[in-house]
């Protein structure tokens, strides 16, 4: 589904500090910036007409992987290189990408992105999203650095380049949509596995992007239709958004107290209804609710982002076998697979920390519990997730320490 080499490349973004020549309130890393960029891109695209969301989605993934490749080049230097050496830079990026083991389908997507001379609007939207995520980060730079005002003025000037996008205007004027962008941005300050040391540290915001990327490669593997790929990606990208209001509650607590998970789910529905949806453009609220996992059950609104669902005549059908509904018209979401991707992301967060030499009982327990859960239910959505995580374990740890064993 996705290679260990590419996974390691993705997680490198959690170690890449941004604005590291400035005094900052908190460490700002590339993984979080790319996640926030993807969130913003969704809302910008939905404010426009006739946007190719599938191309935009491919571009989000390709540009993220590419940015990690060129991470040693300062943004201002990179922009200068692009003005005169864009083709040469693209060729170099593709050569570096070829060292990663990816499917032919994604390899073609990656290379074709750099050959594409159309989709100018989608590329412009993604560039605007990248700018807004950068401008958001600048709020956390101390104002007493030497060239603070110079950079602030440049950002304010560049903002004018993107004001033709309606959603950019709303965000710039600090209207309702800006509150959703801020809520998602706050998730960079909520750390995963907060009770144990880990390298690299990852935030809830970064975690959401990792889950979304895992879902993307799952969809490529099963040859999902475009709407299914899009819905899965953005459902995964927003699956922890309510935690900006509730904070991350670790799994042992959430499911260790009988009935607590249901209480929390009801409370999340209330917060979404009061704090999130009113700030989403009205025309987008129904679609966004669907992505967040809201549905009507016997006249009660419930939330489960990890249930399989489709839309038929504008009615949500849940607990569906999606093999029969791989067509754009059904707007399918593989909730069960997204849950498996969520657990796989957690597994990787612990595993890669051990790979880098930081190991704790909590991380080992987490790995073993996730492994046990996949052992009981190995195949989800036509993918053997148990074999997948065992492959990761064999790559990142000494194969002689592998406890997965041979499974049929």
Q: How many CA atoms lie within 13 A of 322 on its CB side?
A: 31
Q: What is the pLDDT of residues 262-282, one digit of tens each?
A: 777 788 899 999 999 999 999
What is the band of 358 on the pLDDT scale with cuts at 50, 70, 90?
very high
Q: How many CA atoms lie within 13 A of 171 on its CB side?
A: 26
19 φ, ψ (degrees, to nearest 5): 55, 35
Exposed, middle or buried: residue 221 (CB in 10 Å: 0-12, 13-18, 19+)? middle
Q: Which residues are CB-neighbours of 48 under 8 A, at least 6 positions away?
A: 121, 125, 165, 166, 167
| HEC readout, 339-384 | HHHHHHHHHHHHHHHHHCCCCCHHHHHHHHHHHHHHHHCCEECCEE
Residue 132: CB atoms within 10 Å: 28
Query: How many angstroms separate the CA atoms of 30 and 110, rounded?
Result: 20
Which CATH number does 4-185 carry?
1.10.3210.10
Q: What is the pLDDT of residues 48-91, one digit of tens each?
A: 999 999 999 999 999 999 999 998 777 778 888 888 888 899 99
Q: Which residues are CB-neighbours of 164 under 8 A, at least 6 positions away?
A: none
Residue 285: CB atoms within 10 Å: 14
Q: Are 36 and 136 in contact (CB under 8 A)?
A: yes
Give this prediction's pTM.
0.93
Residue linked to tokens 């049929």: 408
DSSP state of 60: H
Q: Which two tokens stand for residue 117?
A: 């001379």
Q: Are 398 and 392 in contact (CB under 8 A)?
A: no
Query: How many angstroms separate the CA atoms of 66 and 404, rounded?
Result: 33
pLDDT at 401 over 60: no
Q: Which residues in the chain are classed under CATH 1.10.3210.10?
A: 4-185
**Confidence (pLDDT) at 407:** 39
Query: How many angstroms separate the CA atoms of 55 and 403, rounded?
Result: 40
pLDDT at 244 over 90: no
| Three-state DSSP state, 406 | coil
Exposed, middle or buried: residue 334 (CB in 10 Å: 0-12, 13-18, 19+)? buried
Q: What is the pLDDT of residues 4-59, one digit of tens each?
A: 999 999 999 999 999 988 899 889 999 999 999 999 999 999 999 999 999 999 99
Say if strands 294-297 and 315-318 run parallel, antiparallel, or are unpaired: unpaired
Q: Are 309 and 317 in contact (CB under 8 A)?
A: yes
Average pLDDT, the chain: 91
């Amino acid at each position: 589904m996705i290679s260990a080499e590419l996974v390691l490349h993705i997680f490198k973004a959690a170690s890449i500090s941004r604005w590291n020549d400035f005094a900052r309130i908190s460490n700002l890393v590339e993984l979080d910036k790319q996640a926030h960029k993807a969130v913003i891109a969704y809302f910008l695209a939905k404010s426009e007409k006739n946007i190719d969301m599938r191309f935009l989605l491919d571009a989000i993934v390709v540009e993220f992987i590419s940015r990690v490749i060129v991470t040693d080049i300062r943004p201002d230097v990179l922009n200068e290189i692009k003005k005169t050496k864009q083709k040469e830079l693209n060729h170099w990026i593709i050569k570096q990408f070829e060292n990663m083991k990816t499917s032919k389908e994604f390899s073609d997507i990656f290379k074709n992105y750099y050959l594409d001379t159309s989709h100018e609007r989608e590329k412009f939207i993604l560039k605007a999203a990248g700018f807004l995520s950068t401008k958001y980060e600048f709020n956390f730079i101390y104002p007493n650095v030497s060239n603070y005002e110079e950079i602030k003025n440049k950002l304010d000037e560049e903002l004018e380049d993107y004001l033709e996008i309606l959603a950019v205007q709303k965000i710039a004027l600090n209207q309702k949509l800006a509150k959703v962008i801020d809520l998602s941005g706050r998730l960079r300050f909520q750390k995963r596995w907060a009770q144990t040391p880990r390298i690299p540290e990852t935030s809830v915001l970064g975690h959401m992007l990792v889950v979304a990327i895992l879902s993307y490669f799952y969809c490529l593997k099963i040859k999902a239709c475009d709407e299914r790929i899009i819905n899965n990606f953005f459902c995964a990208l927003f699956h922890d958004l309510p935690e900006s209001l509730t904070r991350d509650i670790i799994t042992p607590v959430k499911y260790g107290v009988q009935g607590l998970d249901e209480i929390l789910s009801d409370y999340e529905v209330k917060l979404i209804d009061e704090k999130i949806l009113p700030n989403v453009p009205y025309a987008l609220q129904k679609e966004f609710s669907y992505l967040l996992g809201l549905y009507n059950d016997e006249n009660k609104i419930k939330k489960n982002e990890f249930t399989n669902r489709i839309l038929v005549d504008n009615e949500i059908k849940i607990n569906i076998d999606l093999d029969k509904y791989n067509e754009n018209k059904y707007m399918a979401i593989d909730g069960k697979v997204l849950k498996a991707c969520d657990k796989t992301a957690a597994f990787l967060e612990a595993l890669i920390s051990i790979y880098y030499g930081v190991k704790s009982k909590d991380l080992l327990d987490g790995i073993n519990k996730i492994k046990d859960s996949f052992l009981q239910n190995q195949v989800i959505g036509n993918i053997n997730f148990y074999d997948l995580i065992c492959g990761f374990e064999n790559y990142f740890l000494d194969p002689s320490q592998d406890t997965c064993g041979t499974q049929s």
